[in-house]
Structure 1
Amino acid sequence: MLEGQLYQLGFVCDNLEEGIASFRDRGMTHEPHIIEVDQPVNGPDGREVINKVRLCFIWIGDIQYELIQAIEDPLGIYANAPSNGGPLRFHQVCFRVKDWADFRKRVDEQDLPLAMERDMGGDNLKFLYLDGRKLFGHYLEYTWMTDAAWDQIRAM
């Protein structure tokens, strides 16, 4: 299942500041804002857990680089990014889909395992991770958001 608009490459960092330093003088035009998030997500069994992460987003052209430092990772999704000896470990690609209900229905009909999901309902951001590691070597993240939310993300 590969669809939607590819807009993000995600990396796991043990130290977010070291990860950000990797982007200095490599296209980063301004210092990114770091946020800490306690994010409720549902695991593959539907059980809700809290991911605690530090995040930053760096836009270079039309690609957003998401840097993730996991503080608490109860599903082990971020720990699955193997060490490569450097400050950044590739983790996922992210696609934006236009019709969440149609997309979500097809998720249940395809063969990649659901790794985690968050759907707060209504016009709130929705996302899920499919475990594509055996096939692609990384996770596939899919998001849905309103056009207004997309404009806010692009302006970060």
Structure 2
Amino acid sequence: MFARPNSQHCQVAYVTNDLQAAMAALKEAYDTPGFFELTNIQPGEDPTGRPVLKIALAVVGGVEIELIEPVGDTAPLFSDFLPGGDELAIRFHHVATRIDGPLTHWDAHVASLDLARHPVVFEGGLGDMLRYIYTDERATLGHYVEHVWMSPDLLAQMRVVVPSYPPVKD
């Protein structure tokens, strides 16, 4: 699963019921730098039938930390990890492996997976800039694994906007 050409562990992700409070908690408890915030739904885009997620990203020690707040009941893959109630919840959800290089590396990576043993439970993309799938590894590992590919241009843009600690020196 993890030992694939052009693939490297890049992220640890948590789901939360309150993105703002979770960012504050990580800043307080772990000196996490500021976060880059985004949503998976673009302004004016119809979210019908799609999960709506608020996301915050920071890079700490070379590993991206992702916080995800599922909005409403649109994203059970993410919200099912959260307990009920009003108290702040932050729960581990998945690790991610990034596939580097051209889009053909992504295609080869996905083709190398035994999808009967590692079923895809969520997938998406953005033109020729982004591809991702989540495989269900809960029976073995207790969590999901995200496999993600970004075009070199998108990866460079993300490295500029996502805060890093310690700061990346040019």
Does the C-alpha gap of structure 1 residues 63 and 81 become closer, same or farther in structure 2, counting only changes over 3 Å? same
After superposition, what is the alpha-carbon deviation per residue over 1:73-97, rounded to whole angstroms, capped at 9, x for unaligned? 5452102325397531000001101
Match of 2:135 in 1: 130
Q: Which has the larger radius of gyration?
A: 2
Residues 13-24 of structure 1: pairs in structure 2 closer than 5 A: 13-24=16-27
- Whether the 8 Å contact between 2:121 and 2:133 is mirrored in structure 1 is yes
Residues 34-49 of structure 1: pairs in structure 2 closer than 5 A: 34-38=37-41, 49=49
Residue type of the alignment partner of 1:100: W
Q: Distance in 2 between matches of 1:77 and 1:71?
A: 12
Q: Distance in 2 between matches of 1:64 and 1:102?
A: 24
Q: Distance in 2 between matches of 1:131 and 1:50?
A: 19
Match of 1:44 in 2: none
1:64 corresponds to 2:64: yes
Identity of aligned residues (%): 24
Following TM superposition, the consecutive aligned residue runs of length 4 or more in structure 1 with deviations greater than 6 angstroms are none
Q: Distance in 1 between matches of 2:26 and 2:82?
A: 20
67-76 or 49-58, which deviates more = 67-76
- Whether the 8 Å contact between 1:125 and 1:143 is mirrored in structure 2 is yes
After superposition, what is the alpha-carbon deviation per residue over 1:98-126, rounded to whole angstroms, capped at 9, x for unaligned? 311111212355511110111344x2200
* Partner residue of 2:9 out of 3, 6, 10: 6
1:27 corresponds to 2:31: yes
Residues 57-136 of structure 1: pairs in structure 2 closer than 5 A: 57-74=57-74, 76-83=76-83, 87-98=89-100, 99-109=105-115, 111-121=117-127, 123-136=128-141
- Whether the 8 Å contact between 1:6 and 1:96 is mirrored in structure 2 is yes
Match of 1:52 in 2: 52
TM-score between both structures, scaled by the size of structure 1 = 0.81
Q: Distance in 1 between matches of 2:157 and 2:14?
A: 21
Q: Aligned residue pairs: how many?
A: 146
* Partner residue of 1:149 out of 131, 140, 154: 154
TM-score between both structures, scaled by the size of structure 2 = 0.75
Post-superposition offset of 1:49? 3.5
Name structure 2 gaps, 5 residues minimum.
43-47, 163-170
Name structure 1 gaps, 5 residues minimum.
40-47
Residue type of the alignment partner of 1:63: V
- Alpha-carbon RMSD across the aligned residues, in angstroms, is 2.3
